[in-house]
Amino acid sequence: MDVHDLGEGEPEVAVVGAIHGDEPCGARAVRRLLDADLDLERPVRLIVANEAALDAGVRYLDADLNRAFPGDPDAEAHEERLAAELLDALDGCSTLAIHSTQSYAEPFAVVDSMDEVARAVAPHLPVDAVIQTDAFTEGRLIEHPHTLEVEAGLQGSDAAADNAYWLARAFLAATGVITAPGAESVVDAGGREDVEVFRLRDRIPKPDADVYEVFARNFERVEAGEAFAAADDEQLRADDPFYPVLLSPYGYRDQFGYVADRVGTIE
Protein backbone atom coordinates (compact mmCIF):
# COMPACT_ATOMS: atom_id res chain seq x y z
CA MET A 1 0.00 0.00 0.00
CA ASP A 2 1.36 3.37 -1.05
CA VAL A 3 0.26 6.25 1.22
CA HIS A 4 0.93 9.97 0.70
CA ASP A 5 -0.09 12.66 3.19
CA LEU A 6 -0.25 16.18 1.75
CA GLY A 7 -0.60 19.36 3.79
CA GLU A 8 -0.05 20.07 7.46
CA GLY A 9 -1.72 18.06 10.19
CA GLU A 10 -3.54 14.73 10.35
CA PRO A 11 -5.75 14.23 7.27
CA GLU A 12 -9.50 13.86 7.71
CA VAL A 13 -10.09 13.39 3.96
CA ALA A 14 -8.74 10.55 1.80
CA VAL A 15 -8.80 9.35 -1.80
CA VAL A 16 -8.16 5.66 -2.53
CA GLY A 17 -7.37 4.06 -5.87
CA ALA A 18 -6.54 0.50 -6.99
CA ILE A 19 -8.68 -1.40 -4.52
CA HIS A 20 -8.92 -3.71 -7.55
CA GLY A 21 -5.69 -4.23 -9.45
CA ASP A 22 -7.42 -4.48 -12.84
CA GLU A 23 -8.94 -0.99 -12.38
CA PRO A 24 -5.94 1.32 -12.82
CA CYS A 25 -7.92 4.56 -13.18
CA GLY A 26 -7.82 5.32 -9.45
CA ALA A 27 -4.07 4.83 -9.18
CA ARG A 28 -3.58 7.06 -12.23
CA ALA A 29 -5.78 9.72 -10.60
CA VAL A 30 -3.79 9.56 -7.36
CA ARG A 31 -0.49 9.95 -9.22
CA ARG A 32 -1.91 12.86 -11.21
CA LEU A 33 -3.01 14.53 -7.98
CA LEU A 34 0.47 14.08 -6.55
CA ASP A 35 1.91 15.83 -9.61
CA ALA A 36 -0.67 18.64 -9.57
CA ASP A 37 0.95 20.80 -6.86
CA LEU A 38 -2.43 21.33 -5.21
CA ASP A 39 -3.09 24.50 -3.22
CA LEU A 40 -4.44 22.85 -0.07
CA GLU A 41 -6.89 24.34 2.41
CA ARG A 42 -6.67 21.25 4.64
CA PRO A 43 -4.56 18.05 4.63
CA VAL A 44 -5.45 15.00 2.54
CA ARG A 45 -4.32 11.36 2.38
CA LEU A 46 -3.86 9.78 -1.06
CA ILE A 47 -3.60 5.98 -1.24
CA VAL A 48 -2.84 3.40 -3.92
CA ALA A 49 -4.24 0.36 -2.13
CA ASN A 50 -3.50 -2.99 -3.78
CA GLU A 51 -0.13 -2.29 -5.39
CA ALA A 52 0.72 -5.98 -5.80
CA ALA A 53 -2.46 -6.73 -7.76
CA LEU A 54 -2.05 -3.50 -9.77
CA ASP A 55 1.50 -4.49 -10.76
CA ALA A 56 0.26 -7.97 -11.73
CA GLY A 57 -2.67 -6.54 -13.71
CA VAL A 58 -5.18 -8.74 -11.87
CA ARG A 59 -8.25 -7.92 -9.80
CA TYR A 60 -6.74 -9.45 -6.66
CA LEU A 61 -4.09 -11.94 -5.57
CA ASP A 62 -5.87 -14.06 -2.96
CA ALA A 63 -9.31 -12.52 -2.30
CA ASP A 64 -11.43 -9.62 -3.50
CA LEU A 65 -10.27 -6.67 -1.38
CA ASN A 66 -13.65 -4.97 -1.75
CA ARG A 67 -15.33 -7.97 -0.13
CA ALA A 68 -12.71 -8.42 2.60
CA PHE A 69 -13.41 -5.54 5.02
CA PRO A 70 -12.86 -5.17 7.94
CA GLY A 71 -10.06 -7.62 7.26
CA ASP A 72 -7.68 -9.45 9.56
CA PRO A 73 -4.05 -8.38 10.13
CA ASP A 74 -3.09 -12.01 10.85
CA ALA A 75 -4.86 -13.61 7.87
CA GLU A 76 -3.02 -15.67 5.28
CA ALA A 77 -4.73 -13.94 2.34
CA HIS A 78 -2.94 -10.80 1.15
CA GLU A 79 -6.15 -8.82 0.67
CA GLU A 80 -7.54 -9.68 4.11
CA ARG A 81 -4.38 -8.30 5.73
CA LEU A 82 -4.49 -5.30 3.40
CA ALA A 83 -8.14 -4.58 4.27
CA ALA A 84 -7.24 -4.21 7.95
CA GLU A 85 -4.25 -2.01 7.09
CA LEU A 86 -6.31 0.17 4.76
CA LEU A 87 -9.11 0.66 7.32
CA ASP A 88 -6.52 1.73 9.87
CA ALA A 89 -5.13 4.30 7.40
CA LEU A 90 -8.66 5.62 6.72
CA ASP A 91 -9.71 5.90 10.36
CA GLY A 92 -11.46 9.24 10.90
CA CYS A 93 -11.41 10.17 7.19
CA SER A 94 -14.18 11.06 4.79
CA THR A 95 -13.13 8.83 1.91
CA LEU A 96 -13.54 8.58 -1.86
CA ALA A 97 -12.78 5.12 -3.30
CA ILE A 98 -12.32 5.09 -7.09
CA HIS A 99 -13.40 2.13 -9.23
CA SER A 100 -14.28 1.38 -12.85
CA THR A 101 -16.78 -0.98 -14.46
CA GLN A 102 -17.47 -3.02 -17.59
CA SER A 103 -21.11 -1.91 -17.72
CA TYR A 104 -21.32 1.89 -18.03
CA ALA A 105 -19.09 4.56 -19.53
CA GLU A 106 -20.24 7.55 -17.47
CA PRO A 107 -19.38 8.19 -13.81
CA PHE A 108 -21.78 7.38 -10.99
CA ALA A 109 -21.47 7.17 -7.20
CA VAL A 110 -22.12 4.24 -4.86
CA VAL A 111 -22.94 4.56 -1.15
CA ASP A 112 -24.04 2.23 1.60
CA SER A 113 -26.66 4.69 2.83
CA MET A 114 -27.46 8.35 2.35
CA ASP A 115 -25.60 9.67 5.38
CA GLU A 116 -24.69 13.31 5.90
CA VAL A 117 -21.44 13.04 3.96
CA ALA A 118 -23.13 11.42 0.97
CA ARG A 119 -25.86 14.07 0.96
CA ALA A 120 -23.34 16.90 1.24
CA VAL A 121 -20.81 15.63 -1.28
CA ALA A 122 -22.67 13.67 -3.98
CA PRO A 123 -24.44 16.67 -5.56
CA HIS A 124 -21.03 18.26 -6.14
CA LEU A 125 -19.60 15.31 -8.04
CA PRO A 126 -19.86 15.04 -11.84
CA VAL A 127 -21.93 11.85 -11.68
CA ASP A 128 -25.09 10.64 -13.42
CA ALA A 129 -26.58 8.93 -10.36
CA VAL A 130 -26.06 7.69 -6.82
CA ILE A 131 -26.62 4.01 -6.06
CA GLN A 132 -27.59 3.00 -2.52
CA THR A 133 -26.37 -0.55 -1.88
CA ASP A 134 -27.16 -1.12 1.80
CA ALA A 135 -28.61 -4.59 1.14
CA PHE A 136 -25.50 -5.71 -0.78
CA THR A 137 -22.46 -4.29 1.00
CA GLU A 138 -20.89 -7.73 1.71
CA GLY A 139 -17.57 -6.61 3.15
CA ARG A 140 -17.16 -3.57 0.91
CA LEU A 141 -15.33 -0.45 2.03
CA ILE A 142 -18.55 1.60 1.80
CA GLU A 143 -19.91 -0.29 4.82
CA HIS A 144 -17.75 2.04 6.85
CA PRO A 145 -18.90 5.56 7.74
CA HIS A 146 -18.35 8.58 5.51
CA THR A 147 -17.21 6.58 2.50
CA LEU A 148 -18.29 7.00 -1.10
CA GLU A 149 -17.33 4.90 -4.10
CA VAL A 150 -17.32 6.24 -7.62
CA GLU A 151 -17.37 4.21 -10.80
CA ALA A 152 -15.28 6.36 -13.13
CA GLY A 153 -16.10 4.69 -16.45
CA LEU A 154 -15.13 1.69 -18.51
CA GLN A 155 -12.40 -0.45 -17.05
CA GLY A 156 -8.93 0.18 -18.47
CA SER A 157 -9.94 3.19 -20.57
CA ASP A 158 -8.16 6.54 -20.72
CA ALA A 159 -11.55 8.20 -20.29
CA ALA A 160 -12.05 6.44 -16.94
CA ALA A 161 -8.63 7.63 -15.77
CA ASP A 162 -9.45 11.21 -16.76
CA ASN A 163 -12.88 10.98 -15.14
CA ALA A 164 -11.28 9.58 -11.98
CA TYR A 165 -8.99 12.58 -11.69
CA TRP A 166 -11.81 15.11 -12.04
CA LEU A 167 -14.05 13.13 -9.70
CA ALA A 168 -11.27 13.21 -7.12
CA ARG A 169 -10.78 16.95 -7.58
CA ALA A 170 -14.52 17.55 -7.21
CA PHE A 171 -14.52 15.44 -4.03
CA LEU A 172 -11.57 17.41 -2.63
CA ALA A 173 -13.36 20.67 -3.40
CA ALA A 174 -16.61 19.46 -1.83
CA THR A 175 -14.77 18.41 1.35
CA GLY A 176 -12.85 21.67 1.63
CA VAL A 177 -9.40 20.36 0.72
CA ILE A 178 -9.05 22.59 -2.36
CA THR A 179 -10.95 25.49 -3.85
CA ALA A 180 -12.96 24.66 -6.95
CA PRO A 181 -12.04 26.69 -10.04
CA GLY A 182 -14.15 29.84 -10.04
CA ALA A 183 -15.80 29.00 -6.71
CA GLU A 184 -16.18 31.53 -3.93
CA SER A 185 -15.79 28.93 -1.18
CA VAL A 186 -14.10 25.59 -0.81
CA VAL A 187 -17.43 23.76 -0.54
CA ASP A 188 -18.80 25.03 -3.86
CA ALA A 189 -17.67 22.39 -6.32
CA GLY A 190 -20.04 23.48 -9.07
CA GLY A 191 -21.88 20.14 -9.32
CA ARG A 192 -25.21 19.10 -10.76
CA GLU A 193 -28.46 20.77 -9.71
CA ASP A 194 -29.81 17.39 -8.63
CA VAL A 195 -28.67 13.78 -8.77
CA GLU A 196 -30.96 10.77 -9.15
CA VAL A 197 -30.78 8.14 -6.42
CA PHE A 198 -31.42 4.43 -7.02
CA ARG A 199 -31.58 1.68 -4.38
CA LEU A 200 -30.57 -1.87 -5.22
CA ARG A 201 -33.38 -4.36 -4.65
CA ASP A 202 -32.20 -7.69 -6.04
CA ARG A 203 -29.59 -9.45 -8.14
CA ILE A 204 -30.28 -10.56 -11.73
CA PRO A 205 -28.90 -14.12 -11.93
CA LYS A 206 -27.32 -15.60 -15.05
CA PRO A 207 -28.48 -18.99 -16.33
CA ASP A 208 -25.74 -21.30 -17.59
CA ALA A 209 -24.96 -20.37 -21.21
CA ASP A 210 -22.12 -19.87 -23.66
CA VAL A 211 -23.16 -16.43 -24.93
CA TYR A 212 -24.78 -13.57 -23.02
CA GLU A 213 -26.34 -10.33 -24.28
CA VAL A 214 -27.96 -7.32 -22.63
CA PHE A 215 -30.59 -5.17 -24.33
CA ALA A 216 -31.52 -2.72 -21.57
CA ARG A 217 -29.52 0.39 -20.68
CA ASN A 218 -28.36 1.10 -17.16
CA PHE A 219 -30.57 3.56 -15.23
CA GLU A 220 -33.30 3.44 -17.93
CA ARG A 221 -36.62 1.90 -16.84
CA VAL A 222 -37.44 -1.62 -18.06
CA GLU A 223 -41.17 -2.28 -18.34
CA ALA A 224 -42.93 -5.48 -17.28
CA GLY A 225 -42.67 -8.08 -20.05
CA GLU A 226 -39.76 -6.31 -21.77
CA ALA A 227 -36.74 -8.41 -22.79
CA PHE A 228 -33.66 -7.00 -21.04
CA ALA A 229 -31.04 -9.74 -21.60
CA ALA A 230 -30.44 -13.12 -23.21
CA ALA A 231 -28.57 -16.30 -22.33
CA ASP A 232 -27.77 -18.12 -25.59
CA ASP A 233 -31.12 -18.00 -27.43
CA GLU A 234 -33.27 -17.58 -24.32
CA GLN A 235 -34.55 -14.05 -23.68
CA LEU A 236 -35.03 -12.85 -20.11
CA ARG A 237 -38.10 -10.67 -19.58
CA ALA A 238 -39.00 -8.45 -16.64
CA ASP A 239 -41.71 -9.69 -14.31
CA ASP A 240 -42.17 -6.16 -12.97
CA PRO A 241 -40.83 -2.73 -13.97
CA PHE A 242 -37.32 -1.96 -12.73
CA TYR A 243 -34.21 0.10 -13.32
CA PRO A 244 -31.10 -1.92 -14.27
CA VAL A 245 -27.84 -1.06 -12.53
CA LEU A 246 -24.38 -2.43 -13.35
CA LEU A 247 -25.99 -4.50 -16.09
CA SER A 248 -23.47 -6.13 -18.44
CA PRO A 249 -23.06 -9.47 -20.25
CA TYR A 250 -19.73 -10.46 -18.70
CA GLY A 251 -19.02 -8.05 -15.82
CA TYR A 252 -20.00 -10.66 -13.21
CA ARG A 253 -19.49 -14.41 -13.26
CA ASP A 254 -22.94 -15.42 -11.99
CA GLN A 255 -25.19 -12.39 -12.45
CA PHE A 256 -26.06 -9.80 -15.10
CA GLY A 257 -26.30 -6.96 -12.59
CA TYR A 258 -28.94 -5.59 -10.25
CA VAL A 259 -32.61 -4.67 -10.08
CA ALA A 260 -33.02 -1.18 -8.61
CA ASP A 261 -35.78 1.25 -7.67
CA ARG A 262 -35.57 4.97 -8.32
CA VAL A 263 -36.07 6.49 -4.88
CA GLY A 264 -35.69 10.23 -5.59
CA THR A 265 -33.05 12.88 -6.03
CA ILE A 266 -30.61 14.80 -3.88
CA GLU A 267 -30.07 18.49 -4.52
pLDDT digit string, tens, across residues 86-134: 999 999 999 999 999 988 999 999 999 888 888 889 888 999 899 999 8
First to last CA, the chain: 36
Class of domain 202-260 as given by CATH: mainly beta
Where residue 190 falls among pLDDT bands split at 50, 70, 90? very low
The sign of the CA dihedral 79, 82, 88, 93 is negative
Express each pLDDT in 35-74 by its tens digit. Answer: 998 999 999 999 999 999 999 999 999 999 999 999 999 9
Express each pLDDT in 127-173 by its tens digit. Answer: 989 999 988 888 999 988 889 999 999 999 999 999 999 999 999 99
Task: Give a three-class secondary structure readout of 81-124.
Answer: HHHHHHHHHCCCCEEEEEEEECCCCCCEEEECCCCHHHHHHHHH
Give pLDDT, residue 225.
97
Q: Does residue 70 have a cis bond before it (omega within 30 degrees)?
A: yes
Domain span(s) for CATH 2.40.50 in the chain: 202-260
β-partners of residue 95 are 14, 147
Domain span(s) for CATH 3.40.630.10 in the chain: 2-175
β-partners of residue 244 are 259
The arrangement of secondary structure in 2-175, i.e. its CATH architecture, is 3-Layer(aba) Sandwich (3.40)
User: Phi and psi (nearest 5°) for 149?
Assistant: -100, 150
Give pLDDT, residue 169.
96
Q: Burial of 110 by CB count in 10 Å (0-12 exposed, 13-18 middle, 19+ buried)?
A: buried
Task: Answer whether residue 191 shows pLDDT above 70.
Answer: no
Alpha helices in the chain (DSSP H): 25-35, 51-56, 78-89, 116-121, 158-174
Where residue 181 falls among pLDDT bands split at 50, 70, 90? low
Where residue 187 falls among pLDDT bands split at 50, 70, 90? very low
Task: Answer whether residue 258 shows pLDDT above 70.
Answer: yes
β-partners of residue 97 are 16, 149
